[in-house]
Structure 1
């Protein structure tokens, strides 16, 4: 807007071509000529007596008028020549230099031949303005009194800065221009308008607001030129021509804003079919007032003590701003009464903002970075940046009871993962396990839209969790019964994976909107799960236990939703070694049964049997060895042999009783039970053997010598020792038992261990 455009159209009848020049862009069009309609000599001519229309399409030879095709703008130079101009001549004219050989135009805007019809205004425009590519500085004066910070803020809301004269000529010009406003601007102070610098207490210098450099030119009153704690701002005074004076920043005077560009402002809030302009700007005028001019036809101006909207194209469109206080400007969010527009709402809120598209506009019109919107920190003075900060935008008719629609008849994928943080309970006696875990679910809901979501998904917390659909599960344990669940915390986040949607200027909120398609919802549940597990203790304490949990997506059949593995599926971040068991591994399985998707988590535990080796197996084995060593005593020392073996049996029985009280009771024999039974049997057999040996020894003492006499009476008789077998000889029997008992102990342990292993295999196979 407010940029002069140079356009030239040239018709070269000789070359049969048409040239269109738009600033530096040149387009050549070769004309197609119907030579059958050309007269003698194939001469092309432009016949007089026709109509030449600018800014309208001629649908019929008679012409016509269509208001929507009216040229809405300003014309500073208009010429019509009766000959074709060469490109060099056109270039010089566009550069505001008329070639010396240029003929006089047959029609020129400078000639008084045009009749003004309708809303046409005549203004003077300088030649250097038309041909300059840079915007000339201009000023707007605001007679509402403001303190210095408010004046700085107001000028920046409309992309300007407080004026800072840098030459005596400009300083004198501004003084004379705005001195008539002194009655409105001054109070007990004679200050006229603020100046664009303030004081630096550390250095005692006056510094520019833009770059904080010391000002180069100034014109202070001698007694009011020092930076002090009380006077850190400065203004032009009215009682002494062209002079400046330091003053407190809290006093209120007028504001003079300086502009080096024509700012672009955007109007947000009208519906899609509205006829109002969406882009506005403003420029200098004779009254130095703020008038917003739309890019096509809409104007926002101050009339009859109120801000109004008018249209040059649609006279029926009118609008009036609802003022809440005197001195309000339409910049920011305001309520308007609109009539004559295509939108049906009579009262609506509009946002007129000069902020860039990567900025967010506060309700008062000030600009903040867009990332500062809804970051739990107030950046707007009116705190409007932290209002309506819901992450999720629900469409009309949304129901949290209905699952998201499927895509191309495919079931909704729900990604699930588990993070087991600790195993807080492992109770063999009650066959129960308690674990702390974090369950993470991810899915898409195409019906939703998300606002201002950030790259770190933990910053995108969904406040009203009950307002969106979430997957629901049934929890089953190894007994296929319901597990006890204690939810400690639950949070829903939005993970940003796509770029924002195109901006929607029908809403006054400049939020970044993201589609529900491509961006995922994340549900994180921190909970404690207590469940039952069938423990197979046949090999206890050298056992391994496999326990599992099932998570059933019961609300969705496999046609509507399926569970999918997210990442590794399951991770364990706690301590694997428990008091008695160690977690060896965890497994993640997804399957479908009864048309419902399920996840099974299997956890394998191994018994930490080192305690039993050191406190049970080794001592009891030593007792058996001690008992076995009785066989190495003298066969005649029965008393010591029997006392040692009986003591070993009593201690072994005590061990068995104490261990039985600390381990689970089962109807079947465990490996540790087999161990004790084998050892007790071994010791019992040793004791029985010692008794048997002693009985044989005592019996042999009375019957080991026999008298042998020959049948021939002539020879004398003699005593002969009879050699008995090892079954009747206690020493031989003792030697045989020294070999037998180690072998028998090994055989007993092997047999019982084999039976226990077989029972464990059978029970495990039946479970799976």
Structure 2
């Protein structure tokens, strides 16, 4: 004792045993004492600074594995003496419980070492470090067993790990447990340490005026306020276990505005705010909470795993407001995954697409969010608590729409806040304003698409998926068109079309969303199946014009056959297109060729195959008289001349001019 304040240098010297620290009022090594039944022992001053293990005996028998688990719950480890002084201290503690810890056995408490990894090499449990101090008896069974225990005489001996011994836990000076569920004003008041013994068992001492002690007469743990000497709480059920983990406590005296006779849920564990506390008191990393795997032994990490918390269940029918109090903006993303069928005749397309709407709802709070790329998928029960956006597929053909799958998810895990240190529920909460919700729906639908077939088969069709919000949402909910996205992930090349140029029409206003994509017809298929055969038929018909005029049957039959084949080809092509479509370029193509074939047939019929003759008379004068001789000379008819001009000049010129005009129109239209 001093009659003056000490400066920091003096205090540091005392704490590090550099000074004897004799006070100018009282000093224990110079003062005279009268001893009344007290044993006096002198120690060197350096021993006061030598670290001595603080060990506690748990006077219940357990296996090594059970002892490891119990010490872990107490934020401690199984004791391992590191010096003769530590060994003597642990032996003295053990002697005090010799009559409780297996009275008839010499082996009393487990030691936290094992040689299971390498026989004869003793290491601490859960560590590869070898112990530097041992105190095995000269004759021991250490070589026969993987575990070790201390005997009542202080020596160590090998022991079978499945045997049951008392437990000695080593508690570090800075380690503590935390009581949650009360209303402490300061976090320090919630801290408790495992301390010495009351009623033959360790008790839990708060940093201030609370203790938790064992009452053997009722076989319950009680929490006592030492300042008022009043009992506040008592465990609800009879138990021999330590009051670790989450338990129900009966209120004996009013505490935290909870009246006598009520029940409080209180927890006692060493779990930090970055952990999740199992109901048993074990700690697991927070990311293992609600991960669809049982990580707590009691499975409590997968209980109460709802994600969505709402302040008012009725509000889910009312759309949330936007961040600035204006309309709620829905961010849309449409992914077309497959085009199953293109029906040219009915002008409809069957496709499969995924439509995602994303928004925020500041009325909500979330728990158990995963900061992963895929976000946190909500269960059906959680999804039922949400306000859901509604919309209509406007250009649906015949109401043929099928919902394949639907899911709701929370994107990200932003601005999480840990509950108050008094809260038993240690789950982190996330504000709805900072974490977006997404509704993901996958459909197969048949939508209409008006086909413009004038330039068929060189046409490009502009088809769309038209979505519209209901009229009752007008002014309250709108599409965020600037953030809308569209993506096509299916095969680009189909049997008769190629898919190109997906885009969003942003000119329809905030209540409508149209996603366009272009169908480019594959002209090669039509060219080889329509234009090339029709051209070859025209060539065959032209070739009949060169047959002999006397072969009328061959010329007429060949021309008529080409006409019939061409008409059949035209009919098949017409049946593959909408019947109500306007005149198309390909109709003009077939009409002109059919007309030319028809003209060829007429020419074959009406051309005159009889060649006209002219007779010339030649007079021959003899000696006595003059004689005349008639000479017949063939004459070329006008129809034959016309045939020659038509087949060599007329028809080729007509075909060339028509092709020039036709293909010019095609390219201009394209």
* 1:701 counterpart (608, 612, 628): 612
Q: Secondary structure at the match of 1:522?
A: strand
Q: 1:632, 1:525 → 2: CA distance?
A: 68
Whether the aligned pair in 2 keeps the contact of 1:162 and 1:258 (CA below 8 Å) is yes
Within-5 A mapping of 1:121-140: 136-140=52-56
Within-5 A mapping of 1:12-411: 77=1, 79-80=3-4, 104=24, 136-186=52-102, 190-200=106-116, 203=119, 205-216=121-132, 217-220=134-137, 222=139, 224-227=141-144, 231-238=145-152, 241-271=153-183, 277-284=189-196, 289-303=201-215, 305-313=219-227, 318-325=232-239, 327-338=240-251, 339-344=253-258, 346-397=262-313, 399-411=315-327
Q: 2:585 aligned with 1:674, yes or no?
A: no
Q: 1:387, 1:251 → 2: CA distance?
A: 35
Instruction: Sort the Cα spacing of 1:189 and 1:559 in 2 relative to 1 into closer, same or farther, 3 A.
Output: farther
Within-5 A mapping of 1:619-658: 619-634=533-548, 638-658=552-572
User: After superposition, what is the alpha-carbon deviation per residue over 1:171-211, rounded to whole angstroms, capped at 9, x for unaligned?
Assistant: 34433432242332217754311111123166464322152
Whether the aligned pair in 2 keeps the contact of 1:78 and 1:109 (CA below 8 Å) is no
* 2:377 counterpart (437, 445, 461): 461
Instruction: Sort the Cα spacing of 1:506 and 1:671 in 2 relative to 1 into closer, same or farther, 3 A.
Output: farther
Counterpart residue number, 1:540: 456
Counterpart residue number, 1:69: none
Instruction: Sort the Cα spacing of 1:427 and 1:631 in 2 relative to 1 into closer, same or farther, 3 A.
Output: same
Q: Which moved more, 1:452-461 or 1:144-153?
A: 452-461
Q: 1:382, 1:473 → 2: CA distance?
A: 45
Counterpart residue number, 2:649: 739
Q: 2:12, 2:121 → 1: CA distance?
A: 50
What is the Cα deviation at residue 80 of structure 1? 4.0
TM-score normalized by the length of structure 1: 0.74
What is the Cα deviation at residue 604 of structure 1? 1.1
Aligned residues: 646
* 1:613 counterpart (500, 520, 527): 527
User: After superposition, what is the alpha-carbon deviation per residue over 1:87-118, rounded to whole angstroms, capped at 9, x for unaligned?
Assistant: 86787678777899x9956x999999xxxxxx
Q: 2:435, 2:131 → 1: CA distance?
A: 52
Within-5 A mapping of 1:446-595: 446-458=362-374, 460-463=376-379, 464=381, 465-477=383-395, 483-554=399-470, 557-565=473-481, 569-591=485-507, 593=509
What is the Cα deviation at residue 276 of structure 1? 10
Q: 1:441, 1:343 → 2: CA distance?
A: 46
User: After superposition, what is the alpha-carbon deviation per residue over 1:484-527, rounded to whole angstroms, capped at 9, x for unaligned?
Assistant: 32112111111115232143334322222211121111222222
Whether the aligned pair in 1 keeps the contact of 2:545 and 2:643 (CA below 8 Å) is no
Q: 1:528, 1:649 → 2: CA distance?
A: 45
Counterpart residue number, 1:66: none
Instruction: Sort the Cα spacing of 1:157 and 1:221 in 2 relative to 1 into closer, same or farther, 3 A.
Output: farther
Q: Secondary structure at the match of 1:175?
A: helix
Whether the aligned pair in 1 keeps the contact of 2:101 and 2:108 (CA below 8 Å) is yes
Instruction: Sort the Cα spacing of 1:547 and 1:90 in 2 relative to 1 into closer, same or farther, 3 A.
Output: closer
Q: 2:11, 2:424 → 1: CA distance?
A: 46
What is the Cα deviation at residue 607 of structure 1? 1.3
Q: 1:285, 1:97 → 2: CA distance?
A: 33
What is the Cα deviation at residue 341 of structure 1? 2.0
Q: 1:128, 1:378 → 2: CA distance?
A: 53
Q: 1:139, 1:276 → 2: CA distance?
A: 23
What is the Cα deviation at residue 475 of structure 1? 0.9
Q: Secondary structure at the match of 1:610?
A: helix
Counterpart residue number, 2:605: 691
Whether the aligned pair in 2 keeps the contact of 1:221 and 1:244 (CA below 8 Å) is no
Whether the aligned pair in 2 keeps the contact of 1:322 and 1:337 (CA below 8 Å) is yes
User: After superposition, what is the alpha-carbon deviation per residue over 1:619-652, rounded to whole angstroms, capped at 9, x for unaligned?
Assistant: 2101101211233445565454334322322322
Q: Which moved more, 1:295-304 or 1:329-338?
A: 295-304
Instruction: Sort the Cα spacing of 1:365 and 1:103 in 2 relative to 1 into closer, same or farther, 3 A.
Output: closer
Counterpart residue number, 1:418: 334
Q: 2:456, 2:119 → 1: CA distance?
A: 84
* 1:730 counterpart (613, 624, 640): 640
Q: Secondary structure at the match of 2:189?
A: coil
Instruction: Sort the Cα spacing of 1:410 and 1:273 in 2 relative to 1 into closer, same or farther, 3 A.
Output: farther
What is the Cα deviation at residue 417 of structure 1? 0.4
Gaps of 5+ in 2: 32-40, 619-626
TM-score normalized by the length of structure 2: 0.84
Whether the aligned pair in 2 keeps the contact of 1:316 and 1:340 (CA below 8 Å) is no
Whether the aligned pair in 2 keeps the contact of 1:310 and 1:318 (CA below 8 Å) is yes
Q: 1:94, 1:214 → 2: CA distance?
A: 31
Instruction: Sort the Cα spacing of 1:491 and 1:204 in 2 relative to 1 into closer, same or farther, 3 A.
Output: farther
Instruction: Sort the Cα spacing of 1:174 and 1:93 in 2 relative to 1 into closer, same or farther, 3 A.
Output: closer
Gaps of 5+ in 1: 1-76, 113-123, 709-715, 762-768
Instruction: Sort the Cα spacing of 1:707 and 1:538 in 2 relative to 1 into closer, same or farther, 3 A.
Output: farther
Q: 2:349, 2:390 → 1: CA distance?
A: 23
Q: Secondary structure at the match of 2:60?
A: strand
Whether the aligned pair in 2 keeps the contact of 1:276 and 1:298 (CA below 8 Å) is no
Whether the aligned pair in 2 keeps the contact of 1:378 and 1:386 (CA below 8 Å) is yes
Q: 1:356, 1:622 → 2: CA distance?
A: 87
Counterpart residue number, 1:119: none
Whether the aligned pair in 1 keeps the contact of 2:198 and 2:213 (CA below 8 Å) is no
Q: Which moved more, 1:286-295 or 1:154-163?
A: 286-295
Counterpart residue number, 2:512: 598
Q: 2:51, 2:82 → 1: CA distance?
A: 18
What is the Cα deviation at residue 754 of structure 1? 8.7
Whether the aligned pair in 1 keeps the contact of 2:497 and 2:521 (CA below 8 Å) is yes
What is the Cα deviation at residue 377 of structure 1? 1.9
